[in-house]
Amino acid sequence: MVQSPSVKQVRIDSGFWGVYRGLVREVVLPYQYEALNDRVEGADKSYAIHNLKAAAGLIPPEQKGPVFQDSDLGKWLEAVGYALQDKPNPQLEAWADELIGIMEKAQQPDGYLNSFYILRGLDQRFTNLIDCHELYCLGHLIEGAISYWQATGKTKVLDIMRRYADLVDRLMGPGEGQLRGYPGHEEIELALVKLYRVTGERRYLDLAEYFILERGKSPSFFIQEWEKRGRTRHFDTHDTRVPELSYFQAHEPVTGMSEAVGHAVRAVYLYSGMADIAAETGNEELRAACLRLFDNISQKQMYITGGIGQTHHGEAFTFGYDLPNDTVYAETCAAIGLVFFCRRMFNLERDAKYIDVMERALYNGVIAGMALDGRRYFYVNPLENWPEASEKNPGRNHVRPVRQPWFGCSCCPPNLARLVSGLGEYLYSYGENSIYVHLYTGSRAEFDLSCGKVTIEQSTKYPWDGAVKLTVRGAGRYTLALRVPGWCRQAALTVNGQAAEPTAVKGYILLNRDWAGQTEILLTLDMPVAVMQASPLVRADAGKVAVQRGPLVYCAEEADNGSDLAALSLPPGAGFALGKAAGLPEEAVALRVSGHRETPGDGLYYPASFEKKPAEITFVPYYLWGNRGPDKSAGGEMAVWLNRDRD
């Protein structure tokens, strides 16, 4: 069994992710605090802090916006906590303390703390678990509290949230007089496992386990609750239909699940919780279900960007090999949830296939969600952007062609902030005598192994270059496991200047030796441009190719290639030239290749001739798309999959 390090253990302060973490600390978190306070002009209103203040009696008691706005505060606080674990930031800390002060005032005598029900009627609390996100909000606030407490040592917010968690623990469960419910939007399970880990209080783990294992049992709690409520729903008061349980992953007990279904974010949060419980309790049935669900997602229901969720109807999974690039959902939060799931699965299984998917999601589907300036966000991350279709085809209206300053339902932006801010947890896993290096990025990490303290310093231009220098300090016998990413066909390794065998087992080169003093390791991952295809069972991509280099999936943008990207085609065996793309960061590698552009013939349909002329095609990293143009958010076409040429 291995575990993930804390953010305190792993300082990411340079390189690719160092830049991102700096952006989050310096720009994103202040910007988001403004947004949460409804002070960003032209942006959708959050009402998150408004509602909390109203619940605290600081302003008139009016609830605004969706039911789940408290959760954004939890995510923001969690991100702030991770940022403060690196180094002090008085401004962020002052804002966080201000927020915590309001939370304290809003908390009810029995510990309850949810602005929606405090403002709309406490008598209704816990009567609509399926829709009203109470436990989801609680989960996020717990995670925020833990992070902030770990960063600052201030216990106030942790105490607040424990009081609320304790209330839920008293009220819910299988015991007599308890409400035998579970959350409509999973998340609290992850928070409770964390709370157990930092407090050592077993009842938090038990409650998480209860929520997981109770879920989907017959007769359905959600149906019973709905009957009791008079068959009403929160989001559509005219809807009198029986709730669709699969949307909530509550259609069957979790141990029987094999296929990822329903709301994609809910799903991967649940699966992450299942992996946590499997790790903590050794539940083999849960573990087996996790293995099946991961394989189902990664082998049948995941975009090449690591995006998940194929339809905006319910922001949901559909079924295997149905991966439309145009009507896609691929919510940023869902890719983030997949990252959560992958890390937990690695710690359970110690197989690089989980980190391969995690890396794919991180570098593509996740960070595409935020503009380079940190102030605009995608909710849906399409693999094909056609602005006219977003405007004129109602089935594609949900795909915004440019990033937005905020959303009425703005789950993604603070989720991205907390993931990037807390990314240290994802670079490594470690056990008593082993350290697994998952991600390569400028960083300094510290581990207490049974043989003593080990530090690892990474220096690399990854993902732009495949050379990684690791400086290892710490004596003793332990295994250092270096990941050779799935995309890498050839790796080279030197240890203190001596060539070493780069053979990987389950994706890791295992250096098991007696370490002494300082060891310099140079890992070189061959990083050619790869022209990728999808399984022919993926209809949307049949006959098409995508370009990838290292972990980065590339795309063609109108900014470089003109419009009508579907007319472009890429010949087999094309040679790519590495270069820069105007208007993108200096270090970003663009790719250029000689391809073709088909010439429209006469009319709409005609005998096949596929007349074409040579065209240079420029590819830029997918995560950077939509960052150029007059106002730095200009839309324009984008495509990940292009046609391949016949010749």
Q: Does 235 bind its own copies (CB under 8 A)?
A: no
As a whole number of angstroms, the distance between CA 13 and CA 8 comes to 12
Tell me whether residue 290 is one of the annotated catalytic residues: no
CA distances from 448 to 9, 152, 322, 565 (A): 10, 22, 45, 52
Instruction: Decide whether 498 or 606 has the Cβ nearer to its own copies.
Output: 606
As a whole number of angstroms, the distance between CA 467 and CA 455 comes to 20
Q: Which of 564, 577, 579, 616 binds its own copies (CB under 8 A)?
A: 564
Phi, then psi, of 337 in degrees rounded to 5: -65, -35
Cβ atoms of 68 and 185 within 8 Å: the answer is yes
As a whole number of angstroms, the distance between CA 53 and CA 39 comes to 15
Q: What is the DSSP letter of 213?
A: H
- Pick out residues in 566-585 that bind its own copies (CB under 8 A): 566-567, 569, 572
Give 240's contacts (C-beta < 8 A, 6+ positions apart).
231
Selected range binding its own copies among 96-104, 132-140, 492-500, 638-646, rule: CB under 8 A? 638-646
Instruction: Decide whether 124 or 299 has the Cβ nearer to its own copies.
Output: 299
Q: Does 485 bind its own copies (CB under 8 A)?
A: no
Per residue in 29-61, is it b (16+ CB within 10 Å) or e — as a string?
Answer: bbbbbbbbbbebeebbbbbbbbbbbbbbeeeee
* Burial class (CB within 10 angstroms; exposed 0-12, middle 13-18, buried 19+) of 76: buried
Q: Does 300 bind its own copies (CB under 8 A)?
A: yes
- Name the 3-class secondary structure at 464: coil
In the complex, minimum distance from the CB of residue 546 to its own copies, in angstroms, rounded to a whole number: 8
In the complex, minimum distance from the CB of residue 584 to its own copies, in angstroms, rounded to a whole number: 24
Catalytic residue chosen out of the listed positions 134, 143, 315, 359: 315
Cβ atoms of 193 and 277 within 8 Å: the answer is yes
Q: Which of 192, 189, 193, 247 is nearest to 220 (CA)?
A: 247
Q: Which of 88, 395, 408, 452 binds its own copies (CB under 8 A)?
A: 395
Q: Which of 249, 310, 332, 460 binds its own copies (CB under 8 A)?
A: 310
As a whole number of angstroms, the distance between CA 452 and CA 497 comes to 25
In the complex, minimum distance from the CB of residue 610 to its own copies, in angstroms, rounded to a whole number: 6
Q: Does 643 bind its own copies (CB under 8 A)?
A: yes
Tell me whether residue 586 is one of the annotated catalytic residues: no
In the complex, minimum distance from the CB of residue 394 to its own copies, in angstroms, rounded to a whole number: 3
As a whole number of angstroms, the distance between CA 159 and CA 36 comes to 23
Token pair in block for residue 627: 């960052």
Q: Which of 393, 450, 503, 512 binds its own copies (CB under 8 A)?
A: 393
Instruction: Decide whether 386 or 464 has the Cβ nearer to its own copies.
Output: 386
In the complex, minimum distance from the CB of residue 545 to its own copies, in angstroms, rounded to a whole number: 5
585: number of Cβ within 10 Å: 13
Q: What is the DSSP letter of 25?
A: I
Selected range binding its own copies among 139-147, 189-197, 412-420, 536-544, rule: CB under 8 A? 536-544
Q: Does 615 bind its own copies (CB under 8 A)?
A: no
Selected range binding its own copies among 191-199, 441-449, 539-547, 622-630, rule: CB under 8 A? 539-547
Token pair in block for residue 23: 């952006």
Q: Does 536 bind its own copies (CB under 8 A)?
A: yes
Q: Does 291 bind its own copies (CB under 8 A)?
A: no
- Residues in the interface with its own copies (CB under 8 A) total 63
Instruction: Decide whether 632 or 644 has the Cβ nearer to its own copies.
Output: 644
N-terminal to C-terminal alpha carbon distance within the chain: 51
In the complex, minimum distance from the CB of residue 312 to its own copies, in angstroms, rounded to a whole number: 8
As a whole number of angstroms, the distance between CA 428 and CA 6 comes to 10
As a whole number of angstroms, the distance between CA 159 and CA 164 comes to 9
- Pick out residues in 345-384 that bind its own copies (CB under 8 A): 384
Instruction: Decide whether 125 or 233 has the Cβ nearer to its own copies.
Output: 233
Selected range binding its own copies among 55-63, 134-142, 158-166, 593-601, rule: CB under 8 A? 593-601
* Burial class (CB within 10 angstroms; exposed 0-12, middle 13-18, buried 19+) of 121: exposed
As a whole number of angstroms, the distance between CA 196 and CA 207 comes to 10
Instruction: Decide whether 218 or 237 has the Cβ nearer to its own copies.
Output: 237
Q: Does 534 bind its own copies (CB under 8 A)?
A: yes
Q: Does 645 bind its own copies (CB under 8 A)?
A: yes
Q: Does 388 bind its own copies (CB under 8 A)?
A: yes
Q: Does 532 bind its own copies (CB under 8 A)?
A: yes
Selected range binding its own copies among 108-116, 137-145, 462-470, 604-612, rule: CB under 8 A? 604-612
Task: For residue 147, give the H/E element and its range.
Answer: helix 134-152
Cα angle: 608, vertex 612, 618; to 5 degrees: 130
* Burial class (CB within 10 angstroms; exposed 0-12, middle 13-18, buried 19+) of 454: buried
Give 547's contacts (C-beta < 8 A, 6+ positions apart).
529, 530, 531, 532, 553, 554, 570, 576, 591, 619
Q: Which of 605, 613, 630, 631 binds its own copies (CB under 8 A)?
A: 605
Cβ atoms of 647 and 569 within 8 Å: the answer is no
Q: Does 90 bind its own copies (CB under 8 A)?
A: no
The letter for the amino acid at 11 is: R
In the complex, minimum distance from the CB of residue 543 to its own copies, in angstroms, rounded to a whole number: 4
Q: Does 506 bind its own copies (CB under 8 A)?
A: no
Q: Which of 492, 530, 615, 634 binds its own copies (CB under 8 A)?
A: 530
Catalytic residue chosen out of the listed positions 411, 412, 488, 555: 411
Q: Which of 1, 122, 499, 542 binds its own copies (CB under 8 A)?
A: 542
Q: Does 514 bind its own copies (CB under 8 A)?
A: no
| Interaction site with its own copies (CB under 8 A) | 238, 298-300, 302, 304, 310-314, 316, 318-319, 322, 324, 326-327, 384, 386, 388-389, 392-395, 530-539, 542-546, 564, 566-567, 569, 572, 598-601, 603-610, 643-647
The catalytic site residues sit at: 315, 411
